[in-house]
Amino acid sequence: MIYFVTGNRGKFEEAKGILGDVEQRNVGYTEIQADSLEEVAAFGIEEVKEKLDGPVMIEDAGLFIESLKGFPGVYSAYIFDTIGNEGILRLMDGIEDRRAVFRSVLGYAEPGMEPIFFRGELEGEITAEPRGSGGFGYDPIFEVGGKTIAEMEIAEKNEISHRGASICALERWLASR
């Protein structure tokens, strides 16, 4: 069993769909303002390791839009909470190049073990309008193959997503020990 430290129910459901034996623990940790997702995850996992006795994981993600030079990137949570999907669509108004990528960095640790990190990416495009009611965050404005992530079931999202990839990488690593 792994403790997934997150306040985000959507992330937890995705992890559960892959790992099965995982528990959500919303004990919180410091999300530092850094230049990379890796730094955020590396700082957070050290803190979480001290708080819980057992295998622990955290995951940090971001949306990187090509034409906005990678924005909102490491500011994704703040931007979502302030201008939201409507704000992103407004920033993208009239921009033809809609390419964007979701990135995920997962940190995992056990007592007495150096944390280990796994990554995943999902390439797609920013839509013109939000579509779909599933998922969370930027899912309604991010499309892959004509469908937004919010129009997909969790299992379908997990098969292609950044987080699906980082969680599957952890699963493979655990199985190969």
Chain contacts with ligand IMP (rule: CB under 6 A): 8, 60-63, 76-77, 80, 102, 135-139, 149, 163
- The residue whose Cβ lies closest to ligand IMP is 137
To the nearest whole angstrom, how small is the minimum distance from the Cβ of residue 22 to ligand IMP? 17
83, burial (CB in 10 Å: exposed 0-12, middle 13-18, buried 19+): middle
According to DSSP, residue 137 is labeled T
From the list 131, 120, 126, 162, the residue with the least C-alpha distance to 144 is 126
Assess whether 35 carries a catalytic annotation: no
To the nearest whole angstrom, how small is the minimum distance from the Cβ of residue 60 to ligand IMP? 5
Nearer to ligand IMP, 2 or 106 (CB): 106
Helices (H) and strands (E) in the chain, counts: 6, 7
Nearer to ligand IMP, 3 or 102 (CB): 102
Nearer to ligand IMP, 15 or 63 (CB): 63
60, 81, 93, 97: the active-site residue? 60
Integer CA distances (angstroms), 63 to 33, 60, 112, 141, in order: 15, 11, 33, 11
To the nearest whole angstrom, how small is the minimum distance from the Cβ of residue 177 to ligand IMP? 26
Bridge partners for 174 per DSSP:
none
Residues recognised as catalytic: 60
